[in-house]
Chain A
């Protein structure tokens, strides 16, 4: 069973308040390779490791089904800075 994008989105949105969310299916349709960007206030004061562990836990079942999974986690402030740097 391929993992669907709405499933991932729902799981994340139910777990934390999300300011911005990007989910990219990089698998050419087989649903096994996703890259996500999560921007949330809930990450404030958390280390990157703690944030990634949190997302790993929220998407535990989905990640177990995937071949590859990559994530970036930002607070709204960090995301703004990130956007400015990359433009």
Chain B
């Protein structure tokens, strides 16, 4: 009896809740983590992702990305035409604490990580997929980062 109750709170190596394909296992996985993150680090990140419409945590800088995935992410934002005043990037290689705390904050294991208006969007794979499908453009428009294009809002013109 006790064991069953504990299982969901410990979830040490491979959470048993995830071994089933029940729909609820997806949302359960979001509730784990958030353990070693200090309150201070958490607040710093919260402030950062809310201070600028588009925030990218990356390796290196937009001019000198230090990793192919971060390079791809910044190139996508550039192609989308995100104006520089609406974009803020953080170089996690310069800040080891941020590098680990952002992973925990977002519950996401890799860098880069994109936030739009304080909401976590995803990493490089998701960004690339959304860029190709047009979802990223509509997300940026919806959040007022890009001005809407009259007539053909989200459809690509190919």
Hey, which bits of chain A sit against chain B, CB under 8 A? Answer: 11, 14-17, 40-42, 45-46, 48-50, 52-54, 56-58, 60-61, 63-64, 68-72
Contact = CB atoms under 8 A, between A and B. Distances in A.
Nearest to A60: B109
A56 B108 contact: yes
Main secondary structure of the interface of A (DSSP, over half): helix
A53 B107 contact: yes
Interface in B120-137: 120-126, 129-130
Nearest to A50: B26
Contacts of A15: 18-19, 21
Contacts of B107: 53, 56
Interface of B: 13-15, 18-19, 21, 23, 25-27, 29-30, 32, 69, 107-110, 120-126, 129-130
B30 A53 contact: yes
B126 A48 contact: yes
A47 to B, nearest CB: 9
B20 to A, nearest CB: 8
A69 B109 contact: yes
Nearest to A63: B109
B110 A57 contact: no
Contacts of B121: 49
A11 to B, nearest CB: 7
B13 A54 contact: no
Contact of A68 (B19, B26, B69, B108): B69
29 contacts: A15-B18, A15-B19, A15-B21, A16-B21, A42-B21, A46-B26, A48-B122, A48-B126, A48-B130, A49-B126, A52-B122, A52-B125, A53-B29, A53-B30, A53-B107, A53-B108, A54-B18, A54-B25, A54-B26, A56-B107, A57-B15, A57-B18, A57-B29, A61-B13, A61-B14, A64-B109, A69-B110, A71-B125, A72-B125
Nearest 10 pairs of A and B residues by beta carbon = A57-B29, A42-B21, A63-B109, A16-B21, A50-B26, A56-B109, A49-B122, A54-B26, A70-B125, A48-B126
